Amino acid sequence: QKFQSRREIASTMVEHSQDNGDEEGLSFWKATLDAISMLKSDGMSDEDSDHEGQEKVKVVRDLKFRHTDFKALFQHVDSTPRVMKRLFNQSGKKRLRRVFSSEISDRSPPPNLPSTFYRPEYLDLMKKGILPWVVVQENATVSIPKVALPVQEE
């Protein structure tokens, strides 16, 4: 669900950037779409439903293997539909508020991710045999898109 939703957001923003001649936005959103596609659903954070007082919330746990730069990127992607309201249909049931947990998920990474998508310490532990080895694209030049400015409605 989250994987598909993020792909749709990035695809919509690629199209929007193309239509508006926004080269910087186009470059950012294409790189974001590529990163999401490479991570697949196994590269998305874990979420569990819980309650905070009377409110039902989604508790989000980051992935032990995934580079910390993805947290800011995905917060940016997830907030884009609320900012760019005219591009995204907000109908349907209300989204649950997301609460970020300090607890980290131990889920194994999907194979063939670029080495740049990993936390350096996780890669070191795999290389030392402390964690199970997963095929990694070594010496990858794929970088994680950096969020420079918030998305602004036009």
Q: What is the pLDDT of residues 139-149, one digit of tens each?
A: 888 899 998 75
* Structural domains in the chain (count): 1
What range does the domain containing 26 cover?
2-137
Dist. CA 116–CA 128, nearest whole Å: 18
Whole-angstrom Cα distance, residue 142 to residue 5?
22
108, part of any domain: yes
In the chain, the percentage of residues whose pLDDT exceeds 70 is 92
Residue 119's pLDDT band (cuts 50, 70, 90): very high
pLDDT recorded at residue 153? 52
Structure tokens, 23: 């080269």
**Digit-coded pLDDT (tens) for 39-64:** 999 999 887 777 778 888 888 888 99
Residue 144 lies in a domain: no
Kindly state whether residue 148 falls inside one of the protein's structural domains.
no
pTM: 0.85
